[in-house]
Structure 1
Amino acid sequence: MAKERLKPISLHQEMQRSYLEYAMSVIVGRALPDARDGLKPVQRRILFAMHELGLTPERPYRKCARVVGDVLGKYHPHGDQAVYDALVRQVQIFNSRYPILDGHGNFGSIDDDPPAAMRYTETRLAPISNDAILSEIDKETVDFSPNFDGSQQEPDVLPAQLPFLILNGSTGIAVGMATSIPPHNLNEVVEALIAIIKKPSLNEEKLLEIIPGPDFPTGGEILVSNGIKETYTKGRGSITMRGIARIEEINPGKGKHKRSGIIISELPYQLNKAGWIEKLADLVNNGKISGIADIRDESDRDGMRILVEVKRDSDPKKILDFLYQKTSLQSNFGAILLALVNGQPVQLTLRKLLNNFLEFRENTILLRSNYLLKNIKNREEIVEALIQATNNVRKVIELIENSKDTPEAKSNLIISLKINERQADGILGMPLKKITGLEKDSLKNELKDLKTKRAELELIINDKENLMKVMVKELKDLKKRFGSKRRTKLIEGGDALIAEKMANQRPNKELQRINALKELSKDSEIIIQSNNEIKIIPSLTIKKLKLKESDQERKDILPAKLIWPIKNEPKILAVSQEGKIGLLKWEFAGQKPGPLKQFLPAGLENDKIINLIPLTEIRDISIGLISTDGKFKRISINEISDISNRSTTILKLKDSIKLKSCILCKENSYLYIVSDIGRIIKIKITENDFPFMGKLAQGTNIIKLFPNENIVEALSFQEKKNKDLILITNKGSFVKHSTKEITISKKGALGIMGIHFKDNKTIKERVIDCFINNKHVFIKTDKDRYQRLKTDQIDNSSYRKENKLNIELNNDEFLKSTFSMKVPDKN
C-alpha cells in the first residue's frame, strides 16, 4: 500500500477559501436570478429540459417526475424536492404574475396546501415561455456550456424577449445578501421599454408615471408612498400592500336581525389565507379585538370571500381599520432589486434593470439576425443552383448519366456549371418534380423572397435604428398577445395611512421628532459640554455664558465640546469604540436636557462614545475608521445614508480590539496618525490604496505598533492651505508642526518622531492628544481644572523643543484629556 502524503495547511486559510467558494457558488449558481432572463439556474434548467422533451403548449402534458428526472440527470445535480418546488412555483397562478409553466393537477393553493407528489402532477410549457423565452434558443442567440459531467450542453442564459426579472419578480437568500423583486404588469413594462428606446434620456418621474408600482398576481391594493420611489430609484424600499375589503349588510336567516359584515375579496401578496384567518380568530378569542361575531371562509371556484361578521352594537368601519392596523391585511413587501449582472450581484434601480434588459435584447436580435442571414445566404446559393439546373435539365441529366458514381457526378456538375460543392449537393438531391413549370416559377419566387429578407436582415445588422424598430414591433406584438389589465389597485395618500398604522402599533418616533423640532427656536444651537451634557440654548445665551472660553479655576461653567446651529437640522453621528454608529437624537434635548447616554439610539446606550461628527452635505466624502491594532478602512457615506433609529455596525472587531477614531475624509486628502510615544504617520488617501470596504470588513494594516505603543488620534484634511499639527503630553509639554513639512509615508512605515521626551521618574510622559490649530481648544487636568489653549500664540517647533502650558501643574497633577470644540466652518 502506497504511503499517504499529508500536507499541513493553515486551517484559517482553508476555511476562508472554502467558505468563499461556497458563498460564490450559492450567489451565482443557486440563489440569485440573472438580470437578462430573470431566471435562477434551476428555473432555466427546468425550461430547457422541457424544451428538449418537446413539451410545447400544443402537446400533451407530461408527468412532473419525468421532467424532474431529466433536470437532475442532465443539468442540476441537487435534491429532487428542490427542483420540484421550483417547478411548482412556476405553475402557481397566485405566486407568478405570468406563470411560465402550465400545470395539470394539484399544485397547492393560497391556503398553503402542499402540492401533490410529482408522480401525480403533470406539466408543459406555457405559451408565454414557449414564445417569449425559448423560441430563439436554436438560432445561436446564447452561449452554451458543458453540464456538470460534460455529457450535455446547457444554455448560460435563455434568449428572453421580455424582462421576466421584473414581470414575475424573484426571491432568494444567498450568503450575506438577498433579493426580493415584486412582479409587475406586462403592459406597463413594455410601455416603459418602448419609451426608453424612443427617448433614452427619459427622466425618472416619467418612468414612474408609466410603471407606478408592482402588480401582484393576487390583486389587492398598494399604498402609493415614498417607499415605491425609493425601490425604483435606489433599488431597495418598502412597499405597503393592503387586502381589498368592503362592508355589506348580511342576512343571517329567519328570525335573526340583520348584521354588518366585512367581506375580504383579495389579500396582500404571499399572505397565507388560512393562516391569516387562524391568527384573526386567536385575536378574537384572546380578547385583543372585540365586536366580531363570526369568521367564515366562503371562498369557492368563483373567487375569494372571507366573511368577518360584526356584532350589532359594533362599528364595522372601526373593526376594518383595526384589521388594517393590527393584522397582516396591511403588510409590507421589502423590495431589494438584486440580480446578477456579468456574473456579479448588483443592486439595480428600475432604470438600470430595464436598460440592462434592452442591451441584452439588442444583442440577442443582432445574433439572431446574423444566424438567419447566414441561413438565407446558404439557401440562396442552393436556389440559384437549382434554377440553373432546371434551365439546363438535359445537360444535367446527361452529366449524371455519364458519371459512374455520385462523387464523379458532383465533380462533373461543379466543373460544368461552375458551382460550389454545396450547390452540387443541392442539385443531386433535387427531386424530378422540381423540373416542372410550376416548380420553376416557385424557385424564382423563393429566390426573390430570399433576397428581400436578406436586404431586411442586413439593414437590421448594419443600422441600429432599424434594429430598435424591430425590437419595438416585437414588444408590441408580445404585449398584444400576453398583456393583461392591472390587478393591483393604487391608493393615493399612502404615506399618511402607513404613518397611521405605525402610530397605532408603536410610538411614531419620526412624528415625535418632528413635534420636538417644532418646539425649538431656529435661532438656537446644540451644546454638548465637556461632561457630556446635551442642551439646546439660544445663540444669544451662548455668547453671554462664554462657553467658548473657560477660567482655569471655575467649575460651574464648563466649556463645550460641540456647538452647532439647529437651523438646518443637522445629523450628528455618534460613534462607539465597539465599531457601531447611530444618529444622536438631539431634538429631544430642548424638552429636557440630560446626559449624552439619554439621546443615543438603541444599541449604543451602553457603549463608550469616542466621536460625535456633524454630517454635512459634502460630495466625495467618506468615513475613515482606525482601530487600536493599527488597521484603517474607508466606507462610503452612502453606506449610512439610510441609517434609522437604531445603531448599526460599521467595523467588525476582534476580541480586545476597539475602534480608536472615526473621521470624515475626502479623496486625495491626507491622513495623520499620532501615537502616544510621539510617532506621526502621514499618508495620502487615494482610491487605489484605500478602496471602499463593506461594513463588516476589518480594514488593512496602516501602522505597525511597537510594544506598549498606542494610537492617540487620527486626523484627515486636505492641504490646500498650510495647517499646524499640535501634540500635547500628560505633563503639559507640546509641540507644533507645519503639516506641509511632515514627510509623506507609506503603509506600515515608521513615520517621524514628533516630540522628544525628557526622563521623568514620577510620571511617564506620553502624548495624550493631537489636533489641528483651532482657537477653541481646551485641556482638563485630573483635578477637574480647565484651561483654554491659545494655539495661535505657539511658535512652530522641532520635536526637541519643549513648550509649556500657562497652567501650573502640581507634582501629583497631570493632564487628563483635551478636546477641540467642533463649530461650523464659516468658510
Structure 2
Amino acid sequence: MADERIVPIALHQEMQRSYLEYAMSVIVGRALPDVRDGLKPVQRRILFAMYELGLTPDRPYRKCARVVGDVLGKYHPHGDQAVYDALVRLVQTFASRHPLLDGHGNFGSVDDDPAAAMRYTETRLSPLSHGGMLDEIGSDTVDFANNFDGSQQEPTVLPAQLPFLLLNGCSGIAVGMATSIPPHNLGEVVDGLIALLRNPELSDQKLLELIPGPDFPTGGVVLTGSGVRDTYLQGRGSIPMRGVAHIEETQPGKGRHKRGAVVITELPYQLSKAGWIEKLAEQVNEGKITGIADIRDESDREGMRVVVELRRDANAEQVMAELHKRTALQSNFGAIMLALVHGKPQQLSLRQLLEQFLEYRELTMVRRTRYALKRCEDRLEVVEGLIKALNVLREVIEMIQSARDSASAKASLQVQLDLTERQAEAVLAMPLRRLTGLEQESLRKELEELRQEQKELRHLLDDRPTLLDTLVKELKQLRKQFATPRRTRLQEGGDDLVAQRAAAQRPNAEAQRLHALAAISSDNRLLLQSDGLLRIASPQSLGKLHLSEPLPFGDHGAHGQLIMAVQPAPTLLAFTSGGRVAALRWEFAAQQPGPIEKFLPESVDGQGEKVVEVLVLPPEDINFSIGLLSSDGRFKRIAAEEFRELSGRATTVLKLKDGVVLERAVICKETDNLIVASSTGRSLRLPIDENNVPLMGRTAQGPTLMRLLPGETIVGAAVTAADAEVLLISALGQLKKLAVSNLRLCQRGDLGEIALRFSNRNDQLVDLRACDVELVAVETQTGSIRLQTDGLLAEDSRGTGLNLELPKTEKVTRLLPLNNQL
C-alpha cells in the first residue's frame, strides 16, 4: 500500500512547480496591493476585523493586542508581530498621508523609534476608513470567501470609495518584482477622477496638471521633471525629493557672537531624522563636509527643527548646497506603480490606475443599488399587503378569528385577499397599534416614499449617466469631508538639480579621464617600463635615459618596454594571468606615476593576478582580432568589437581550468601566420583562419593547438607575416632569428617541427617573440642585454643561432621587445 502512494516525479519539475506556487503565494497573498482598494491582504483583514469588533470612530479605543488576536484567530494565521507591524504602519501619521487607523499610545516616530508593545497601545478605525472604505460593506457590494479554516467569511476586497492605493501609496517586495507607490493628496486625486469621469479622453497633460505630483506626509519638496512624468505616464520613474531648510542667525550663548545656521524643518519621505543626523556627523568628522560647528536636534511637539550651526568663517549657502549634494537631504523616490489587476501583477500608469478604480467603484455602486432596490421592493411588498388588509380590516379579523390555526389563517388571507406569503405573514404579525389612524396614515406615506425610492433606484440602474453623476456627487462630498491642504511643495527644474547632484556625487569616469588627458602636453610620451612602472615623460627626460641604445650584459635597471605619443590618445589593454582584460587608465599617470596595477580597475587589483601582456588597440579601420594562448596549449580568437567599448570593470575573456593561466595575448590579422613554441624547442605554424583558430565568445576555452609532452610547457606565441621573422631565446642564452617561411604550415594538433636545436642538451626554450621591433632586451635573474634585431642573421629551422655572453650562473627569464614609437 505504501508503494502505491509514492508518485515518481522529476526533481526539476517538482522544484519548478513548488517555486512557482511559492512565488504566486507571495505575489497575490502577501506583498502586492489590490488596485481596487489599495490594500494588501493583512491590511484588509485588520480593517475588517476591527469593523466586526465595532471599533468605529465614535467608540472607545481598544487594545491593539485584542485586534491582533482577532486577526490571527479568524483570518491571518501568520506571526503576531507581522500583523502588529502592519497595524502600526496604518496608524503612523508620518508613514501614511491619510491614516486608516486612529491610534492612542506610542506608535513610533520619524527617528525610527519602534512602537510600544501591542499590549500598551490602543486603536480604532479612523473616520476616513470607516466612511470611505467600510461604510458599504453590508450592502452586498463585495464578494466574501471562506477564511483559512472555513469557519468564517472574509471579504475578498473592501468597497473603497476612494483610490487608497494612490492616497496612501504602498511598498512591497514580492518574488521577482516589487512595488513602490508614493502617497498623493486626496483633493487632487478626486479632481482627477471627476475630470476622467466627465471626459474619458482627457489628455495626459491635463491629468498631470490636476495631479501634479506626490504629496508626502512628511512634507518636503518634490522636484518636478522627467522623474514625475515617467512615473505617471509609464508606471516607473525616479522622483527627486528635498527636505525644507532655511538659513537663520543663532545666539550660541551669552557674550558670544551670533552665528549662521542651516535649520531643517522637513525631511524627505521615509528618511529617519536620527539616522540622517548621525550620518551627517560622521561626514563632518571625516572632513567630507566642512564649515559645520555643531548639530542640534531641537524638534518638539510643534514640529521638526534640526539646527546645523556653522563656523564663523563658513558660507551658509555653500554649506546648504553641500548638504543637498552629499547627504540624503536630497534623495530619490524610486516609484514602481505595480498592483494586482484581476489577480495578476501589472505595472500601471496614473491614468490606468484611476480607470481601474473608477471601473471598480461603478461596479460597487451598481451592486449597492441592486441591494437597496431589493430591500426597497421587499419592504414595498409588505407595506402594500398591510394597507390592503387595513382597507378590509373587519373581513381580515373575521378570517383570523374563524381560522383554526395560524397556518390556515395565512392560507385564507392569501386566497381571499390575493396576498403573497410574505404579505400574509406581515398581516398576521401586525401589532394592534397599526390600527390607529395615525399609524395607518404613516403606512400610506411610507408606501409613497418606497414607490418613489424604487423609481429612483431603477433609474440609476437603467441610466448610466445618472449613476456617474451620483458617483461625482459622492466624490465631491468625500473631498469636502476629508481633503486637506497639500503638504509637499512642488519645485520646477528637477532634472537640472538632479544632474548637478549626480555630477557632484559620482563624477563620470570618462569625464575624469578626458580631464586628465587634457592636462597632458601633446609632446609628452607614455612610458611603460619593463619593471611595470607607468609614467608620462617629456622628450628631454627620455633622451637622458638612453632607452634606444644597445647595451652589453649588466644591471641596467628598467628598460622602456613601450614608448609612444599621447596624441592621438592610444587605447591600452592589460591582460592578466587569470584570463581577464581591462582598459589601462594611463592618463592618470601624469598626476602620479606608479606600477601598472595602480591604473587598473579595483576588480583586478588585489586579486593576485599579474599582468602578462599589454596591447595597443589598433585603429577602428583595421580589421583584426585578439588571440589568447593559455598554458595548456589552447588558443582562441575574439573579435575586435568585444574590446572597443570596455566598461570601467575588468572583463573575463578566457575561461581557465584550475592551474591554467593565460600565457600570451597577440593581435591577429587574417593574412598572418601564428607561431606557437614549447620549452623543448618544438614550434607550430598555422594560418589564421576559421578552421584552425575560429572566432569564439568571451568565456570559451578555445581549441587545443599544441598537445604537450610530459614535462613540456608552452613558452610563447607570435603573429607575423609569412615573410617575416621571429626571435627565440633559450634559458642558457642561445638566441636565434628564425625565418617564418622556413617552417612548414601545420594543422591544429600537429606535432610541428623543431625550431631551435640546443647546443646544450640541458637547455630549454623560454620565450618566442615576433621580430617586429628594432631593439630587444634579453633579461636574466640579475641583469640584461639590449640588442638591435637588424644585426641578427635570419636562419632556417636547422640553424642554431648565436650564444650570448652571459655569466655561467645566469639564466634567461624572458625576451622583451622594446616598442619605441617616438
Assess same fold via TM > 0.5. Answer: yes
Instruction: Report the secondary structure of 1:404's partner residue.
Output: coil
Q: CA deviation at 1:417?
A: 1.2
Pick which of 409-418 and 210-219 moved more: 409-418
Q: 1:332 to 1:402 in 2, by over 3 A?
A: same
- Per-residue CA deviations over 1:44-103 (Å, capped at 9, x if unaligned) read 000111111111111111111111111111111100000000000000000000000111
**Residue of structure 2 in register with 1:806 after alignment:** none
> Structure 2: how far apart are the matches of 1:90 and 1:17?
35
Equivalent residue number for residue 601 of structure 1:
647
Aligned to 2:212: 212
* Counterpart residue number, 2:127: 127
* Partner residue in 1 for 2:376: 376
Contact 1:136 1:368 in 2 (8 A): yes
> Do structure 1's residue 321 and structure 2's residue 367 form an aligned pair?
no
Following TM superposition, by how much is the alpha carbon of 1:3 offset from its aligned partner in structure 2, in angstroms? 7.9
Question: What per-residue deviation string (whole Å, max 9, x for no partner) do you get for residues 345-398 of structure 1?
Answer: 101111111111111111111111111111111111111111112222222222
With normalisation by structure 2, the TM-score equals 0.65
Change in 2 beyond 3 A, CA 1:126/1:514: farther
Instruction: Please tell me whether residue 106 in structure 1 is matched to residue 106 in structure 2.
Output: yes
1:312, 1:218 → 2: CA distance? 32
The yes-or-no answer on 1:271 pairing with 2:317 is no
CA distance in 1, matches of 2:37, 2:375: 26
Q: CA deviation at 1:812?
A: 3.7
Counterpart CA distance in 1 for 2:302 and 2:389 is 66
Provide the aligned length of Structure 1 versus Structure 2.
578
1:666-724 C-alpha deviation (Å, 9 max, x unpaired): xxxxxxxxxxxxxxxxxxxxxxxxxxxxxxxxxxxxxxxxxxxxxxxxxxxxxxxxxxx
Are residues 1:466 and 2:466 paired?
yes
Return the alpha-carbon distance in structure 2 between the equivalents of residues 102 and 557 of structure 1: 70
**Gapped regions of structure 1 (runs ≥ 5):** 517-527, 535-555, 563-593, 609-652, 656-728, 731-762, 770-781, 786-809, 816-827
Alignment partners' CA distance in 1, 2:510 and 2:91: 43
Give the superposition deviation at 1:463.
Answer: 1.6
Q: Does 1:457 align with 2:457?
A: yes
Q: Where does 1:155-174 land on structure 2 (aligned, <5 Å)?
A: 155-174=155-174
Change (3 A) 1:282 1:767: closer
Within 5 Å, give how 1:558-637 maps onto structure 2: 597=643, 599-602=645-648, 605-607=651-653
What SS class does the counterpart of residue 16 from structure 1 fall into? helix
Q: Counterpart of 2:256 in 1: which secondary structure?
A: coil
User: Could you tell me how far apart the structure 2 residues matched to 1:22 and 1:485 are?
Assistant: 43
Contact 1:499 1:508 in 2 (8 A): no
Whether contact under 8 Å (2:142, 2:364) holds in the other structure is yes
Letter in structure 2 aligned against 1:600? L
- Provide the TM-score with structure 1 as the length reference: 0.65
**Is residue 345 of structure 1 aligned with residue 391 of structure 2?**
no
Contact 1:598 1:605 in 2 (8 A): no
Measured against aligned partners, the alpha-carbon deviations of 1:106-144 in whole angstroms (never above 9, x if no partner) come to 111111111111111111111111111111111111111
Instruction: Tell me if 1:423 matches 2:423.
Output: yes
CA contact (8 A) 1:502 1:508 kept: no
CA distance in 1, matches of 2:430, 2:340: 50
Cα distance change of structure 1 residues 603 and 163 upon mapping to structure 2, 3 Å threshold: farther
Alignment-derived partner of residue 77 in structure 1:
77
Q: How does 1:182-261 map to 2 (within 5 A)?
A: 182-261=182-261
Query: Following the alignment from structure 1 to structure 2, what is the Cα–Cα distance between the partners of residues 515 and 238?
Result: 30
1:598 Cα deviation after fit: 5.4
Q: Which residue of 2 aligns with 1:179?
A: 179
User: For residues 26 and 619 of structure 2, what CA distance do their matches in structure 1 show?
Assistant: 60
Q: How does 1:385-424 map to 2 (within 5 A)?
A: 385-424=385-424
The residue type equivalent to 1:131 in the other structure is G
Shift of 1:599: 2.6
Give 3-state SS (helix, strand or coil) of 2:403's partner. coil
Distance 1:65 1:264 in 2: 37
Alignment of 1:33 onto 2:33: yes
Distance 2:228 2:58 in 1: 40
Q: CA deviation at 1:8?
A: 3.8
Who is 1:43 aligned against? Answer: 43
Give the whole-Å Cα distance in 2 for the aligned partners of 1:317 and 1:558.
49
**In structure 1, distance between residues paired with 2:5 and 2:199:** 66
Residues 508 and 398 of structure 1: CA distance in aligned 2, closer, same or farther (over 3 Å): farther
Q: Write the distance in 2 (CA, Å) between the matches of 1:336 and 1:561.
A: 45
Question: Is the 2:692–2:747 Cα contact (8 Å) retained in structure 1?
Answer: no
**Do the aligned partners of residues 337 and 438 (structure 1) sit closer, same or farther apart at CA in structure 2, a change above 3 Å counting?**
same
Query: Helix, strand or coil for the counterpart of 1:9?
Result: coil
Give SS of 1:238's match. Answer: strand
Query: 1:783–1:813: 8 Å Cα contact kept in structure 2?
Result: no
- How far apart in 1 are the matches of 2:469 and 2:123? 36
Query: 1:405 and 1:175 mapped to 2: Cα distance?
Result: 67
Do 1:294 and 1:310's aligned partners in 2 also have CA atoms closer than 8 Å?
A: yes
Output the CA distance in 1 between the equivalents of 2:511 and 2:487.
Answer: 33
| CA positional deviation for 1:505 | 0.5
Which residue is 2:634 aligned to? none
The letter for the 2-side match of 1:91 is V
String of CA shifts for 1:386-435, please: whole Å, max 9, x gaps: 11122222222222222222212211111121010011112222222222
Measured against aligned partners, the alpha-carbon deviations of 1:233-292 in whole angstroms (never above 9, x if no partner) come to 111110111110111111233211111111111110000011111111122222222221
> Aligned pair 1:488/2:534, yes or no?
no
Mapped contact 2:218–2:266 kept (Cα < 8 A): yes
Indicate how the Cα distance of structure 1 residues 39 and 426 shifts in structure 2: closer, same or farther if over 3 A, else same: same
Query: Separation in 2 of the partners of 1:813 and 1:205?
Result: 71
Q: Distance in 2 between matches of 1:21 and 1:38?
A: 23
- Structure 1 counterpart SS, 2:49: helix
Structure 2 SS opposite 1:399: helix
* Contact 1:260 1:316 (8 Å CA) reproduced: yes
2:137 corresponding residue in structure 1: 137
- The DSSP-based 3-state class of the residue aligned with 2:240 is strand
Question: Counterpart of 2:766?
Answer: none
Letter in 1 for 2:202: L
Q: Secondary structure at the match of 1:294?
A: strand
Deviation at 1:783, TM superposition (A): 7.3
1:98 partner amino acid: H
Give structure 2 stretches of 5+ with no counterpart.
517-570, 572-580, 584-617, 625-639, 658-669, 672-688, 696-718, 723-742, 749-822
CA distance in structure 2 between the aligned counterparts of 1:232 and 1:5, rounded to whole angstroms: 54
Percent identical pairs in the alignment equals: 60
Partner deviation per Cα, 1:458-481 (whole Å, 9 max, x = no partner): 122112111111111111111000
SS in 2 for 1:78: coil
Q: Is the 8 A contact 2:262 2:308 kept in 1?
A: yes
The amino acid across from 2:376 in the alignment is I
Distance 1:45 1:337 in 2: 23
Q: Name the structure 2 match of 1:115.
A: 115
Aligned: 1:14 with 2:60: no
Alpha-carbon spacing, 1:558–1:172, altered in 2? closer, same or farther (3 Å): closer
* Distance in 2, Cα, partners of 1:73 & 1:203: 48
Q: Which amino acid aligns with 2:235?
A: G
Q: Please tell me whether the aligned partners of residues 383 and 443 of structure 1 are also in contact (alpha carbons under 8 angstroms).
A: yes
